[in-house]
Amino acid sequence: MARELYTARLARKDCISESAQCFHFEFVLDGMERFQFAAGQFISAVAQDQNGKLQTRAYSLASAANGNRFDLCVNRVEEGFFSNHLADLPDMPVGATIQIHGPHGHFVLHEPVTDSILVATGTGVAPMRGYAQWLFPAEGQDRSQGRDIWLVYGTRYETDLYYRAEFEALAARKPNFHYLPTLSRGSEDWTGLRGYVQDHVARIVEERAARLGLPLPVPAVDPATPPAELRFGIHAYICGLNNMVSGVRERLTAFGWNRKQIVFERYD
């Protein structure tokens, strides 16, 4: 069945990291009143390459639903067609359009909201920005229900921490939002966390279990439990390249976490 295509007009484009060649995009769907989606979903963008072939790529929505607008966060991939098409100024100046279909995907927050560890590297932070906007809207009711929400965000350098000012401002405004950027190649001046996201995720799990007096590894769930009856006090949402996603999943599985508690999106 043919998917319905929408025309999205680029309203704003900012290079948010020169070194990583990462761009923040804001699009408007002029013909549409509301573009309804759940935070964390993705759209498929469609464009013709230099040989006239239609190319389609998935991009996570980097915002929560907001009228007929949506944001993307995309970095250039060497030799890649679509990321360069979006990033190159002659191809995509403000006012240019792309075709999209969607929303798609199941990388969405479980409700009711539980304590949640959001884990991202690179542009994997895009859906996390959507979650943060949905959980803690600038105006309107906080949807986090007081749960602890950790964002463990790994990059190599400080200059690659996309949306840093926004997340820092949110952490200052909301005591239950914990922003934990970690650098694998931070300069000597960096006073924050270092190393890989897996290790910091493990520390959060261990400290939380100790604080709440919970056993680790957690006791296995009875396999006979119907899926609808499974209840967890904490979830992890992981987004980025496969290596990192697998590494975090392995660590959480070793703590006895159930696979239904571990929600993930892989970009490669």
Phi and psi at 91, nearest 5°, equal -75, -45
Q: Please state, in angstroms and rounded to a whole number, the distance separating the CA atoms of residues 92 and 85.
A: 7
Half-sphere exposure (CA, 13 Å, Cβ side) for 223?
A: 0
The DSSP secondary-structure symbol of 13 reads: E
Rule CB under 6 A: is residue 98 a binding residue for ligand FAD? no
Residue 235 tokens read as 């979830």
Q: Burial, 34: exposed, middle or buried (Cβ in 10 Å; 0-12, 13-18, 19+)?
A: exposed
Rule CB under 6 A: is residue 155 a binding residue for ligand FAD? no
Task: Indicate the residue type of 257.
Answer: W
Q: Please state, in angstroms and rounded to a whole number, the distance separating the CA atoms of residues 265 and 77.
A: 18
CB atoms within 10 A of CB 114: 17
Rule CB under 6 A: is residue 79 a binding residue for ligand FAD? yes
Span between the terminal Cα atoms of the chain, in Å:
26
Toward ligand FAD, which CB reaches closer, 82 or 257?
Answer: 82
Query: Any idea which residue has 């013709």 for tokens?
Result: 48
What SS3 class is residue 64? coil
- Chain residue at closest Cβ approach to ligand FAD: 80
Q: In this chain, which stretch among 71-79, 151-159, 175-183, 227-235 interacts with ligand FAD, using CB under 6 A?
A: 71-79
Report in angstroms how near the CB of residue 49 gets to ligand FAD at its nearest.
9
Binds ligand FAD by CB under 6 A, chosen from 37, 38, 60, 134: 60
Rule CB under 6 A: is residue 82 a binding residue for ligand FAD? yes
Rule CB under 6 A: is residue 264 a binding residue for ligand FAD? no
Toward ligand FAD, which CB reaches closer, 160 or 265?
Answer: 265
Q: In this chain, which stretch among 27-35, 55-63, 145-153, 187-195 interacts with ligand FAD, using CB under 6 A?
A: 55-63
Q: Please state, in angstroms and rounded to a whole number, the distance separating the CA atoms of residues 42 and 57.
A: 10
Rule CB under 6 A: is residue 126 a binding residue for ligand FAD? yes
Q: Which residues in the 205-244 window bind ligand FAD by CB under 6 A?
A: none
Toward ligand FAD, which CB reaches closer, 45 or 193?
Answer: 45
Rule CB under 6 A: is residue 118 a binding residue for ligand FAD? no
Rule CB under 6 A: is residue 59 a binding residue for ligand FAD? yes
Toward ligand FAD, which CB reaches closer, 106 or 211?
Answer: 106
Q: Please state, in angstroms and rounded to a whole number, the distance separating the CA atoms of residues 230 and 232.
A: 7
Rule CB under 6 A: is residue 42 a binding residue for ligand FAD? yes
Binding-site ranges for ligand FAD (CB under 6 A): 42, 57-60, 73-75, 77, 79-84, 105, 123, 126, 265, 267-268
